[in-house]
Amino acid sequence: MQVFMPEPQIYVERTLALIKPDVIDKEEEIEDIILRSGFTIVQKRKLQLSPEQCSNFYADQYGKMFFPNLTAYMSSGPLVAMVLARHNAIAYWKELIGPSNSIRAKETHPDSLRAIYGTDDLRNAVHGSIRFSSAEREIQFMFPEVIIEPIPVGQAAKDYLNLYVNPTLLAGLTELCKQKPADPLIWFADWLIEHNPNKPRLQQQMTVEEP
């Protein structure tokens, strides 16, 4: 009886995370939790938004009763913006931060970031994108001058691996078998550094001798 194992799938998703002004002193603690939860911090910056910028960022909340307080709070001091990446990043980040109301989060999700660091429905410590389209818009808003290369997923990721990664690994492993070093792990690591296909190469300058 043959057992067919499904081919491994590579899915990487991005989301925006904000550490809000009232917990900026807990930045290192929160980042440590983020990293230990399996996220990669792709981009990070510290900035302070004006009330107008906050209004644009939260444009979908315009007209609601709490909107003036929200923009005043978010522009009251510096905040930290981060682009987080991992499998199902949006869903996992939403789960990690918990409900938007910190008081309710303390009851229903006591281990969430908003339960630990938040105060109430407004001062809830952190922000997270709620869906894919929101994440793309919010990342572009917070990082307008930074070009983030799209992370390949699905077939695009397989094509990238087959074109750029697998040939290098195959060549390195073949050479490893030939050399049979005493410490194969260290040897292979050094070989990969030396033969990195993305390693920048200096152009050789031609010297022309005058007659």
Residue numbers annotated as active site: 127
CA 109 vs. chain centroid, Å, equals 23
Closest CA to 152 of 140, 143, 161: 161
Q: Which amino acid is at 115?
A: A
Q: How far, in Å, CA of 170 to CA of 189, rounded?
A: 14
Count of CA atoms in the C-beta half-sphere (13 A) of 146: 16
- Say if residues 158 and 10 touch (Cβ distance below 8 Å): yes
- The token duo for 125 is 């410590």
Q: Which amino acid is at 177?
A: C
Phi and psi at 84, nearest 5°, equal -105, 145
Only one residue has tokens 């699905």, namely: 154
- The token duo for 11 is 């899915």
